[in-house]
Amino acid sequence: MAITTDETTELTTTATVSIRVPTGTGTKLIPEAETRLSRADGVREVRVTTLRELAPNLSATVITVDVAVRSTTAGSGEGLHARLADVPGVETTTITGQE
């Protein structure tokens, strides 16, 4: 007999992410990055801790930020890296730590 549980475990993971934010939309870069990254499956909260780089282009600004991500271990079974990489506009993701 298998033992199952509906209980989920929350993890806080730190990562460095580069994400494209369209220009000319009137959005602020940091809140827009947090909002977009929060849409990843299983992510409960994203907080930008450090702005590392801004790279403005004609149609978008690429920002590189350090983030703290609160997520659940339940769900699709994919790693957080893959889930963040699937967010529209994400160019690179590096997981730097986990609590």
| Interval 12-52: pLDDT, tens | 999 999 999 998 778 899 999 999 999 999 899 999 999 99
Q: Which pTM does this prediction carry?
A: 0.83
pLDDT for res 92: 94
**Whether CATH 3.30.70 fits 15-98:** yes
Q: Which long-range contacts (CB under 8 A, 24 or more apart) does 37-41 make?
A: 37/67, 37/69, 37/84, 37/87, 37/90, 39/87, 40/71, 40/80, 40/83, 40/84, 40/86, 40/87, 41/75, 41/76, 41/78, 41/83, 41/86
